[in-house]
Amino acid sequence: MAALHRPRVNFQGEVWVAALKKCFLMRSTLFTYFFFLGCLGGFMPHAFAQRENPDSVLNANMTALTKPDNIYFDAIKAKMQNDPVHAKALFEQFVALKPDVSAGYYELAKLYYNEKKNDKAEANIKKAITLEPQNKWYKEQHATILAENGNYLEAAGIIAGLCKTEASDEEYPKMAAEYYERAQKYDEAVKYLDLALQRFGDDEDVQMHKMQLYLEMNNADKAADVIKQLLAADPRNGKYYKLLGELYDNNKMQQKAAEVYEKALKILPDDPHVQVGLAEHYLKAGDTVAYNNTVKRAMFNPEFEASAQMEIMAAYIQTFANDSILRAEGLPLIRQLAVLHPADAQVLSVFGEFLDWNNKRDSAVMAYKRSLQAKPSDFNIWRRLLDDYTDKKSADSLIKYSDKAMRLFPNQAVINYYSAIGNYNKQDYPKAIKAINRAIDMQPESDKAVLAEMYAMLADVYHTTKQDDLSDKAFEKAISLDPANSGTLNNYSYYLSERGKKLDEAEKYSKRSMELRPNEATFLDTYGWILYKKGDYEKARNYVQKAVDLAGANADATLYDHLGDIYFRLNDKVKAVEFWKKSKEKGGDDPQLDKKISEGKLYE
């Protein structure tokens, strides 16, 4: 759990002032001199609170006096130079020499806390507090350490004590409330938020926090009362009406929500927040017609900036993501936003996505390019553009734009991956191999799934270029990184079957792919083809026939070619020729296919 942090005033100024006061009270000129030097070096005022009396200091050996001071100053210097290991060692020396000075323990507590060694941090801060029990900074650090260890209730108690002793500090009540909330003591948390409001006046963030606490307590009425207080102070704020309406809707009080929006529309008929809230109210009530009409008005409300309009559009898209009719209806809406904001990169990017969803790839590409003109540094838009160029006919465009993207993002592995796809599709295999190897070198090993895809592509390129040993090694690496990638398992097992090599291993991988994706026609065909290569023709026919049946009208030429070969081995030449002809009709490119059909013989 992250610790609570907050801005502070310049602490060093407080240190110096307090230190000088102590010096003057001691009425020792020499001691004042050394003490002031200590402050300049970073000492806290309480560091010397327990020091010897002035007379003993005056009589002390000069070397003995300055040695701990020098160590402390060196420790502060090491800390400021971001050398925590050296700083910690020096502070440990200091507390060994000066076990009655609290500052060293405080510094050690912070260093150990930063190292997430909270037991040592707590031990040191407790020593500091024992030496100076009224120091608020020590107490706050103690609370932070306790909270990091999950001891929220104890941390809350410490900060609650500071609320009493430091009544002018407006952050302490908020901190106490935060810790009590984490301890699930919601009543106490509300109490301290009320204290913050009482001491320091209305604060919207505090009120919103209070509302959330009441919701955690399942007290929707009190949560609503908080929003009503905000509305009473600012009755023309549409966000508060929306918030109140949402609260009622989310707690199954639809009639109250309707009353809120009815009142809001009388006061603020054109407020965009009210319109959005009302649209969501209609959607929750199942009135999609009213939702559509209202959300469209909100979407084009001139009081909303482009980013807000896009948020509404995104919610609209998500609501009907699986409704092809409404997706088509949404296209002119996003086009209208693009016309209103012709230079807004986000609007144009979402417009491109929407065009992609509606299978208008060429238009999507144009939208992405316009978006990149407005914001060329947006990596995500580059990815969407490159995604649309991954088909074979767009190889030149993919190479061109991946090269452009590479100049902007030279350390992004995925850009090299796209370049490899483009060169592979263009059949420039040496460049594809070079690009995919660059991508692999750049890709963090922590993202194993992506790295596995890259190795699988490298294996494909090596297979295409007849570098079988390298292909096998790349496939094995891909499978070791992502053993559940069914596509990689299928491809490797099929390539092995085509070569008639490692057929037992191929069968094992093919079975695993079918377990991951049962009833996948291509995977069934692969398994059947492995059985064919192993001579089990009857079983092979069952699997390949099932693949053809599952694929239906989408069954490709390879499936029919395989089925024809299997029937030939089963001594049914009539059926063999029949399926070879179907393969030919489907565009089969087996160079032996014409001879097989004309001669009724199997050529492999």
- Mean pLDDT, range 112-121, rounded to an integer: 94
Give the integer Cα–Cα distance in Å for 446 and 459.
Answer: 21
Pick the range with the lowest mean pLDDT from 106-110, 132-136, 281-285: 281-285
pLDDT score at 117 = 94
Pick the range with the lowest mean pLDDT from 178-182, 315-319, 413-417: 315-319
Residue, of 212 and 24, whose pLDDT is higher: 212
pLDDT score at 328 = 65
Give the integer Cα–Cα distance in Å for 532 and 562.
Answer: 9
- Residue 174 scores a pLDDT above 50: yes
Residue 382 to residues 204, 337, 368, 385, Cα–Cα distance (Å): 40, 21, 8, 5
Q: How many CA atoms lie within 13 A of 84 on its CB side?
A: 10
Residue, of 310 and 44, whose pLDDT is higher: 310
Answer yes or no: are the C-beta atoms of 250 and 280 closer than 8 Å: no
Give the integer Cα–Cα distance in Å for 390 and 274.
Answer: 44
Burial class (CB in 10 A: 0-12, 13-18, 19+), 20: middle
Work out the pLDDT band at 314, boundaries 50, 70, 90. Answer: low
- Residue 210 scores a pLDDT above 50: yes
> Mapped to the 3 state alphabet, what secondary structure does 215-284 carry?
HHCCCHHHHHHHHHHHHHHCCCCHHHHHHHHHHHHHCCCHHHHHHHHHHHHHHCCCCHHHHHHHHHHHHH
The mean predicted confidence, pLDDT, of the chain is 85
What phi, psi does 389 have (nearest 5°)? -110, 15
Give the integer Cα–Cα distance in Å for 457 and 440.
Answer: 11
Work out the pLDDT band at 80, boundaries 50, 70, 90. Answer: very high
| Tokens, residue 43 | 């000492």
pLDDT score at 296 = 75
- Which residues neighbour 452 within 8 Å (Cβ) at sequence distance 6 or greater? 477, 478, 479, 481, 482, 485, 488
- Mean pLDDT, range 257-279, rounded to an integer: 90
pLDDT score at 317 = 64
- Mean pLDDT, range 320-329, rounded to an integer: 62
- Torsion sign (Cα): 343, 344, 345, 347: negative
| Residue range 488-497, pLDDT digits in tens | 999 999 999 9
- Mean pLDDT, range 515-529, rounded to an integer: 95
- Mean pLDDT, range 168-175, rounded to an integer: 94
pLDDT score at 330 = 65
- Residue 47 scores a pLDDT above 50: no
Give the integer Cα–Cα distance in Å for 100 and 64.
Answer: 16
Domains of the chain, CATH where assigned: 529-599 (1.25.40.10)
Q: Which residues of 206-232 are buried (b: 16+ CB within 10 A; e: fewer)?
A: bbebbbebbbeeeebeebbebbeebbe
Percent of the chain with pLDDT over 90: 69
Pick the range with the lowest mean pLDDT from 99-108, 116-125, 235-244, 267-276: 267-276
Give, to the nearest 10 degrees, the angle between helix 102-114 and helix 62-80.
Answer: 20
| Residue range 287-308, pLDDT digits in tens | 888 887 887 777 777 777 777 7
Q: Which amino acid, 196?
A: A
DSSP assignment of 459-506, as one string?
Answer: HHHHHHTT-HHHHHHHHHHHHHH-TT-HHHHHHHHHHHHHHT-SHHHH
- Residue 9 scores a pLDDT above 90: no
Percent of the chain with pLDDT over 70: 85
Integer Rg of the chain from CA: 36
- Residue 424 scores a pLDDT above 90: yes
Give the integer Cα–Cα distance in Å for 316 and 327.
Answer: 9
pLDDT score at 178 = 96
Answer yes or no: are the C-beta atoms of 189 and 157 closer than 8 Å: no
Answer yes or no: are the C-beta atoms of 49 and 25 closer than 8 Å: no
pLDDT score at 327 = 62
- Residue 505 scores a pLDDT above 90: yes
- Residue 14 scores a pLDDT above 80: no
pLDDT score at 324 = 64
- Mean pLDDT, range 194-206, rounded to an integer: 92
- Residue 357 scores a pLDDT above 70: yes
Residue, of 513 and 9, whose pLDDT is higher: 513
- Mean pLDDT, range 370-392, rounded to an integer: 94
Please report which residue ranges of 341-394 form alpha helices under DSSP H. Answer: 345-357, 361-374, 379-387
